[in-house]
Structure 1
Amino acid sequence: MTLMIFFLMIIFESATGKLCPLRASIDVLEGEYFFLCYLESMQEHFQEGAYAINWYKDNAGKQELIKESHRIVSQMNFLEFWPVELADSGNYSVIHSNGKQNLTIQKWTLNVLERNKSSCFNKNHLTTEIKSAGTGHSLKCSDLSVSENNSITWYKDCKNYENETELELDFETLTVQHSGIYTCKILISHEGKIYHSTNTIKLVVEEDAPEVVTLEIVGCHEEIETEIGKEEILNCTGFLGYYMPEDASLYWLINQEFPEKCTGIPGTDPSICEEEFKKLQLGNKFYVTRLLQIKKVTDEDMNRNFTCMLQADERTQTKIVKLKKDGKEYDAFVSYLKDCISPTEDEREFALKILPMILEENFGYKLCIFERDVSPGRAVVDDIHSFIDKSRRLIIILSQNYISDRAIYELESGLHKALVERKTKIILIEYMPISDYSFLPESLSLLPSKRVVKWKKDKSLHVNSRFWKNLRYLMPAKPTKKNIKGHYNNLDLGSQGAQPLTEGCEFNGVV
């Protein structure tokens, strides 16, 4: 199959009368009627003569033939679920075989979402449409209708809406009062039983026209510095605007070929695989994101084009990522409190003494600490950019006092390099307990993996505590040094004390 067929986001009507949307990743609610389908024209393009059509589901990295039952039925170019269940989540494919060769026609990732028993919809299974007051508009029901005789009911905020029973809900003139969550429910009769399918739309009506935005991938074409044998995770994030288009999709290509899907089962993933497509909403802005995992970078990977393609509303954006050998000078740039209104000596000592002593003297890392390594009198802004550029990681020591202009500038510079340029990975150390992260830039939540390592004073002091183990896990790989010191008895730790403990650091992964 050519790539062009995959990329054309079109809809056609088959001989069965059902519409077949071409999409690679699909969300559906448990307990509803649903089907997978492929374009009949595809088989004509690739097959001549007699052939067999088989549907497969990926099970622990192996393709297993789907056996038909009263619930799962194959009909021409459709695989129907009467109804779909949570266990149906997974990767599907349809393969044509003429006895001599097998040809994969199309692949899908099906995500079956749990039904919200206290509501008529699932908040993770809706689209948002933002419109201006005073204009006309129509909300469209699901494309899964299989007969003109199907019963259709519309609900607004889970209450029956004006006895509407049409496939489209028409508004001649929108007002702010029309804002709400609309759910269309289709009842479908099959073999003497009644099934249903729903579609939920969040309609936001504004007095003024919403800002016109352009579909775009976050960041431009880029080169990522890496090392042979190192693990790399490539992130592609697309900004969609102020609503989530139904046809939004995001793909990775490797030299114009589709990568394999990640199984999510340790030890079973291929050397390069693509994770599931995810949707994000930050405030009133919508994003999509997808990760590409490279277990161990090879020389061959250095010559490959890793291309991310974003498609929505009949528009396409691309981003090309290339790998090149690492030329970083430092393992990490350390950013901490410094010049805030009420600095603490403990935090300063942690940043300037404890952190470098353990990471540099015991584990062989090379840190860049601004107060220690930058000559006075130089241009601060230029130096920050330069030293973060030269560092593989950016370590942020967080506390409620982390609000100085320069500290925030360092964080925003690091976020830009992590999120847009993909040159530096960020590590967050929570030095003092933080209950509210609102003082941090909102874009921090767009990082593919935002990890917080918590310092617990006495419990974290020992070199073998969970704090240092978790921190080293997030740092670049280094060979273990044999002369590791087990404690800090030579340090003047003040109120922290010098008695080492072995456990006590929590590790939280925040996405």
Structure 2
Amino acid sequence: MQTGFILTYLMLPVFLEGCCVGGHQKRQSANVDLWGRQLKTTNLHFRAVEGEMFMVPCVNVTGVCRERSKSSPITCGNMFPAKANHSGNYTCDTGGSNMFLFLQVVERSSLGCVDPKESSKILLNAQGGNITCPGRSCMNNSDVIWYKGDRAVSKQRRALCEEDGRLHLCQVREVDTGVYFCDRQIIEQGVIWTFRRAVSVKVIPHYAASYPPKIVDPDANATKEVELGQTYTLTCEVHFPVEIYVPAVVRWFMNYGGNMKNMTPLHMEKPQHNTKIFEECIVIQTAIIEEVTPQHLNHTYTCIASNSVGNSSATISLKKKNKVKWPSLVGYPFVCLLLVTGVVVILHVKWLEIQLFYRSHFQHGKHDEDEKEFDVFLSYVWSPSSAEVEGGATLSFLSGPDNDEEARLSWINPLNIEEGGSIQTPLEVLLPQVLEVQWGYRLCLLERDVLPGGAYTNDVVNAIQRSRMLICLLSADYLCDSNAVFVLESGVQALLQNSALKLLLIWTSKPAKSLIPLEPPLPTMVQRALMVLPSLDWTSGKFSRGAICSFWRSLKKAMPKHREQSWFHA
């Protein structure tokens, strides 16, 4: 008794679902036809119906099929409506060898029996459904292979079966929407043709609507602003519950004087349909008022949407848009004069900074190398540690050529390695060696290259005139030294008079750059120049390979063009 109960329980789904216990569609090998006969893999013969969707499967073909007389090739896996001019003999790329595709597109009227309903099918979600291969009743052969797009339905893991040329889906899902292909094989004059037909399937949640349409835009009793004399578009967006027996209808009406009983239909554009939402269909209906007149402001406009359940409506009115009138400056001479005066004052106050910024960053004249005696005039003030390090500070140079820019920049050691100590070499000691010994620039130092006994001011002005570039090493000691500040001030004046001079500031200590109160105070011209002149930072006590390379690379870029092409002085 117990055994019989178990057998009955196992056999019950078979009687209830028919063939839906599992996927029972025939699986066809790529090299075997529906009757188990061996196929020639070098030739493919396909037949399609004009007007139906068609796709060359990518089972044997892996690329593009071309024919000499056709301007557009056929790519496997791409779906397109078949036309008569698609007929022809194609050569397909299979990734190593050529395969020939023979395609015939036949007229629908030549099929004998034609049922337009077979080319499309509507299925209800969450229920079972059948898809019939078009022309099934006219063909002796009912054996077909079903595809959804380019993938065989038999390879999908779901409950389905194929019987007598029909594909039965045990439970329809939303993803089943799409184009299905059914392939039959026909033998004509010893040639096996694959007759491919297409069925467009749409899955809907229900056949009839359960609620009236919903008008999303416009809001009921809304007011829209319009401009007289301009074109205005009335737009109505409605969400309809999906149904197949009653069309979704949206109309615009004009109500004269706001009287809802005196309504006139408006000329409307073709509605736009959108089905992004599975449960609903979106319809957008527009009506255009070619030119808005004052009479249009006296009427109201109603959008009415209807389906099998009922109607929905939304009414709007139009009002004139008030243009914003900006006050004219011509009508207010005082405001105009005040604006011009403000611009003049700003230019007058900032004129020095503007001149210095432009001349130092954008306008450098070209020199004749023989006109200037020195490449760089270097101005600095000895710090207390400079005298201690100067005598013993040396540089470790690279021997021989080196094409690595990082190596050329990072060998400059800011520490006095030869003395074995950790005394940091001040920049006023290190920089002259780099500029002269390593980079080969002709350097002017007041204590070395200017004869003693002359007037200091004249010596400074002459040295600047004889140099292509002025570099000032700024520190708290420098800005408190009147002679050093005079050099900087003279360089600023020379820059304003001669755009060919380059001027670079190198801050050797951060507190100095913050411009704390100094004694004596800096000249106004110098204070304003410090804010706009090109500058670099040499931060004491923070030396890493990256920081060293960055500083020397920026300095090299700011230097005037070298008289020789090599970096290194012979």
Is the shorter-chain TM-score for this pair beyond 0.5, marking a shared fold?
no
TM-score, normalised to structure 2's length? Answer: 0.29
**Structure number, greater radius of gyration:** 2
TM-score, normalised to structure 1's length? Answer: 0.32
User: Greater share of helix residues, 1 or 2?
Assistant: 2
